[in-house]
Structure 1
Amino acid sequence: MPDIVLTTLNARYIHASIGLRSLLANLKELESKAEIIEFTTADRLQDIAEKILALQPRIIGIGVYIWNVLQVAQLTQIIKLLSPESIVVLGGPEAGHPPYRVNLDAADHIIVGEGETSFYQLCRTLSAQPGSADRIIGPVLPDIDTLRLPYDYYSEQDIQHRTLYVEASRGCPYTCEFCLSSIDKQVRYFDIDSFLNALESLWQRGARNIKFIDRTFNLNTDRVIRILDFFLAKSPPYLVHFEVVPDYFPAPIKQRLAQFPAGSLQLEVGIQTLTPSVAAAIHRRLDMVKLQENLHFLQHQTNAHLHLDLIVGLPGESLESFARNLNTLTTLTTGEIQLGVLKKLSGTTINRHDLVHSMVYSPLPPYEILANDLIDFPAMQQFKRFARFWDLLYNSGNFRGSVTLLLQDTDTYSGFAAFSSWLYQNTLSTWQISLRRMAELLFHFLVEEKQLPPAMVADSIAADMQKVQGRRLPPIIREHTTVPLRKNKQKSSSSPGKRQQKHLL
């Protein structure tokens, strides 16, 4: 039985916690006494507690994040009720950055900041002198040059079935007030040779789905070149994900990005706002000329799948200016555009705008903004529905051709907002809308509200849906379409079989 259990509740099974593995890798002589066990937020808390306590650990370390903090708080209470002698230690972004807005009082210890050094020292102290450690362990910045890399602790199951998270650096030089990364303004780099050796080891073990969690991957040109060259020397298929700043792509980086084959590269491009005054207010750098130039390059000269972020609710950003930003982005790229809602994270400085802009946030995770001086609560609710439907239709790619029909004779935001309002009025839901039902609703809106010819609409929807094998067209689409139907898609059964069900939203 392990003395130390490291655990967390991941948002999905496919996410493998790099944080737990880094803690385990740096436990030194205590490593042999420790074990990782992971869960998801879909697991029942009593089942989680049962599995943890069955190992009879003395110390239980739990990673706390914005998506699991409510459940971790309850799990901690359950564990302490059942096993008061167990020592529960919380760490991670949501525990490590006060003020705490979820009650974590049941925990014995809370580690602030990066945990590798602090957790190891705490475990040693608890072994030698139980009860002698402080409850709140202040931040101790690990020496990145001496940290042991965690990648050997990804199992064969992880490599075959999960996204593997890696980091070549920590920290961010930018000071965006809504982001936790702005706390650590000094970028610290792992030794590039050691890092690449670890990547090679992962590759040899079969790793092909790798996501870098560096906040500003493309800042150090020499290091970026070496990492890009590592992947360019490999044979596809593989998928590597980087988070990049949009205004810094020197020629050597561009040359390499252009060489990646289709399906092998995903770039998350942090935009957040295109409004200069809003960017300046939150201390975010914004070079519109460079941004547009680089997006044009990424769109037209690379095969990268682009994921761009926009945030609604930023201080000074109206819905009208947000709409202009969205309209601009859709002219610059056909990539995925994630529409997010501002969150008030503990440890950030976004709260300095609360009084001036009447910022009102939910007291519960994920602490999303509810209203401000420019966007009232009903309008914010409407936007959240807009963002949900945008994901289902635009970002999913399921109706990429048909979505353009929504935008005929109007701009992107206005056209989609009209459909979003109509869709909610007719469904009173943003969830549990199947793909076939969405196709029917889209047909009715385009024909009845936009007065488009039924055959043209049905042809567009049928072409979109039949790009993926196994999808069944709704009767109304089959009735009006002139697109040849694939016989293997149409089944007489009134209910979709397993093959069709996996395509439902």
Structure 2
Amino acid sequence: MKILLAAVNAKYIHSNLAVYSLKAFAGEYKEQIEIGEYTINQKKDEILKGLYQKRPDVLCFSCYIWNISYVTDLITEAAKLMPHTRIWVGGPEVSYDGESFLNKYPQVEGVMVGEGEETFLELVRHYTEGKKALEEIPGIVFRDRGKGQLCRTPSREILDMNEIPFPYEKIEAFSHKIIYYESSRGCPFSCSYCLSSVDKKLRFRKLDLVYRELQYFLDHRVPQVKFVDRTFNCRRDHAMGIWTYIRDHDNGVTNFHFEIAADLLAREELELMRTLRPGLIQLEIGVQSTNERTIEAIKRKMDFARVSEVVSEVHRGKNIHQHLDLIAGLPFEDYESFGRSFDQVYRLRPHQLQLGFLKVLKGSYMHERAGEYGCVYQSREPYEVLRTKWLSYDDVLRLKGIEEMVETYYNSGQFSTVLSGIEATVSSPFLFYETLAAFYEERGYFAVSHSRLQRYDIFLEFLMEWDCAHLEEYKERMLYDLYLRENLKSRPGWAKDMGSFRNKIHAFYQREEENPRYLTEYKGYQARQLCKMTHIEVFSFPADTGGKKRERWILFKYKTRDPLTNDAIAIEIPPRELGE
């Protein structure tokens, strides 16, 4: 008997925790179980060929919002090629309407509903040893072919988290992928748009087990471990224990990602965070909206004043990457209200600001209230909002443009210096990005793919119309941004000529070769090599107090970079250190 667990991920760097957990739980049968991981970016014929060549007796697909159409296409074709293979599905995209799914896809034998570990194990026993009839296995919807009807068995009791085996045996197979890990299941909150709100049974894995498993990742120097706990810090002693452990056992390489509620962080947690290596952890914080009526309508609990206080304090520590989320299309939030939410969150200066759009998921409270809210959404995944009583489709389209501008110019981190200069002069960042998006739309730039340098050229074109008075300063700031990320081989056409500074720059590198002071990590290289491996640029921003400008000589070093931003190290060289 050969059983194949198939996962179709959104990207190659992703891994699918679910299929590895299912196999680990069915440990006594794992020799008969194989995992096949694919991505939605592969050709379907390529995946179909792989499925066919494995010749499984039972084929199980993990179904999510990002892959359900892809998976159903594979099911349809695979059933033609392997008519005797039993096909099962599981995952959040099929758990809440199992009967409808089976009616639509007669090729499928059944649906695993909810948590799948014990259910999968019993299905494996059913197919390999004939143990238990399907109607005796809790937590499934299946096709009774003898009676010609669909049957649903009673729900299964949730698992004790400590009974789930560690899913990662051969970590080498994940050398180029993000590792996903869970130390808890369930969520203490009831957000109406989220499926985690359906399961209120919050449970945790024992810390001694978690420590042992985290040490395995640390010993193997895994690049990133992403916790999938819905609100990681909802139990303080659990979060403190894990953060303390990874601090005390830091290998200098592994990064850990956590989704948290910022307003739940206590003083002791913030003090602990200040002691962490820069880049050791990153935090994702779902703000969603600052409109109090919206927050109440989505059954969310959040103290935005406290969120602001915490985010700002963490930001001052300069050691933790913060990612804040907003959702457009929520009840009682119109275009102007969303703009206010955007401005309030933007001014917290997160490393990334995710502007997302409401997805109306089957099984969620929002799905039930969609009619009341006038919420019209896509019929196919990702079931994204098209309009609501408060937000027209025209508004959604404008927000889509703003989202792309935020991704391109803010979240990329490639324009941070020029944006900081602009932000000092604008009353509303939201209106600035709205104007930038309108410029892109008017010029037809949304329809074309642009290189990084072209994005700078377009931004300069925009700034010439938007604020020509400060154009020279913006050019300098953009050049600063360029050299922060890359030691350019050729300078952009709008950069000033550095020919008059050539002798001073040469003298500086000659002195650094003989007696390194600023380039000690490059010791042993000749001046000519130092000049190629680093860069010196002369700037005149920002102005001194009183508005007077002066030359600033900035040395960019690329051997080491900022662990949070990946920027080069930039050092100002005092004039007395420069040659004549």
Q: TM-score, normalised by structure 1?
A: 0.90
Structure 2 counterpart of 1:171, from 178, 186, 191 = 186
**Partner of residue 391, structure 1:** 407
Structure 2 counterpart of 1:457, from 468, 474, 496 = 474
* Alignment map for 1:386-425 (pairs within 5 Å): 386-407=402-423, 408-425=425-442
Contact map agreement 1:454 1:480 (CA 8 A) in 2: no
User: Aligned letter for 1:127?
Assistant: T
**Partner of residue 72, structure 1:** 71
Change (3 A) 1:121 1:81: same
Contact map agreement 1:447 1:457 (CA 8 A) in 2: no
Contact map agreement 2:221 2:253 (CA 8 A) in 1: no
**Cα distance in 2 between the residues matched to 1:201 and 1:125:** 34
User: Aligned letter for 1:390?
Assistant: V
User: Are 1:252 and 2:251 an aligned pair?
Assistant: no
Change (3 A) 1:66 1:473: farther
Q: 128-137 vs 53-62, which deviates more? A: 128-137
1:157 CA displacement = 2.9
Change (3 A) 1:333 1:484: farther
Q: Which runs of 5+ in 1 are unaligned?
A: 491-502
1:105 CA displacement = 4.3
SS in 1 for 2:263: coil
**Cα distance in 1 between the residues matched to 2:22 and 2:52:** 20
1:139 CA displacement = 4.0
**Partner of residue 216, structure 2:** 201
**Cα distance in 1 between the residues matched to 2:252 and 2:476:** 35
Q: Which runs of 5+ in 2 are unaligned?
A: 135-141, 144-151, 503-530, 536-565, 567-580
User: Are 1:224 and 2:239 an aligned pair?
Assistant: yes
Change (3 A) 1:302 1:403: closer
**Partner of residue 120, structure 1:** 121
SS in 2 for 1:165: strand
**Cα distance in 2 between the residues matched to 1:444 and 1:138:** 63
**Partner of residue 493, structure 1:** none
Contact map agreement 2:14 2:179 (CA 8 A) in 1: yes
**Cα distance in 2 between the residues matched to 1:255 and 1:61:** 46
1:248 CA displacement = 0.6
User: Aligned letter for 1:20?
Assistant: V
Structure 2 counterpart of 1:283, from 295, 299, 313 = 299
Count matched residues. Answer: 489
Contact map agreement 1:472 1:489 (CA 8 A) in 2: no
User: Aligned letter for 2:124?
Assistant: C
Q: 283-292 vs 35-44, which deviates more? A: 283-292
**Partner of residue 438, structure 1:** 455
**Cα distance in 1 between the residues matched to 2:11 and 2:262:** 28
SS in 2 for 1:332: coil
Contact map agreement 1:246 1:294 (CA 8 A) in 2: yes
**Cα distance in 1 between the residues matched to 2:374 and 2:61:** 35
**Cα distance in 1 between the residues matched to 2:379 and 2:48:** 27
User: Aligned letter for 2:225?
Assistant: I
1:428 CA displacement = 4.6
Change (3 A) 1:130 1:185: closer
Q: Deviations over 1:276-312 (max 9, x none)?
A: 1110011000213322221222222351100000001
SS in 1 for 2:232: coil
Contact map agreement 2:94 2:101 (CA 8 A) in 1: no
Contact map agreement 2:323 2:350 (CA 8 A) in 1: no
1:222 CA displacement = 1.3
SS in 2 for 1:62: strand
SS in 1 for 2:163: coil
**Cα distance in 2 between the residues matched to 1:10 and 1:275:** 34
Contact map agreement 1:10 1:68 (CA 8 A) in 2: yes
1:459 CA displacement = 1.3
User: Aligned letter for 1:107?
Assistant: V
User: Are 1:62 and 2:61 an aligned pair?
Assistant: yes
Structure 2 counterpart of 1:320, from 312, 336, 351 = 336
Q: Deviations over 1:7-57 (max 9, x none)?
A: 111111111111111000011322111111211111111111111221111
**Partner of residue 45, structure 1:** 44
Change (3 A) 1:455 1:184: same
**Cα distance in 1 between the residues matched to 2:74 and 2:367:** 29
Change (3 A) 1:468 1:350: same
Contact map agreement 1:279 1:286 (CA 8 A) in 2: yes
With a CA cutoff of 8 Å and minimum separation of 6, indicate the structure with the bigger relative contact order: 1
**Cα distance in 2 between the residues matched to 1:383 and 1:483:** 46
**Cα distance in 2 between the residues matched to 1:265 and 1:81:** 47
1:207 CA displacement = 2.2
Q: Deviations over 1:350-382 (max 9, x none)?
A: 034323321100111111100112211122012
SS in 1 for 2:265: coil
User: Are 1:343 and 2:344 an aligned pair?
Assistant: no
User: Aligned letter for 2:224?
Assistant: N
User: Are 1:265 and 2:266 an aligned pair?
Assistant: no
User: Aligned letter for 1:288?
Assistant: F
User: Are 1:292 and 2:291 an aligned pair?
Assistant: no
Larger Rg: 2
**Partner of residue 398, structure 2:** 382
Change (3 A) 1:287 1:484: farther
User: Aligned letter for 1:53?
Assistant: Y
Change (3 A) 1:435 1:456: same
**Cα distance in 2 between the residues matched to 1:213 and 1:256:** 22
CA RMSD of aligned residues (A): 2.6
Contact map agreement 1:10 1:40 (CA 8 A) in 2: yes
Change (3 A) 1:82 1:431: farther
Change (3 A) 1:210 1:154: farther
Contact map agreement 1:113 1:141 (CA 8 A) in 2: no
**Cα distance in 2 between the residues matched to 1:384 and 1:120:** 44
Change (3 A) 1:145 1:442: closer
**Cα distance in 2 between the residues matched to 1:191 and 1:412:** 45
Contact map agreement 2:90 2:111 (CA 8 A) in 1: yes
- Identical pairs, percent: 25
**Partner of residue 556, structure 2:** none
**Partner of residue 507, structure 2:** none
**Cα distance in 2 between the residues matched to 1:420 and 1:236:** 40
**Cα distance in 2 between the residues matched to 1:90 and 1:481:** 63
**Partner of residue 206, structure 2:** 191
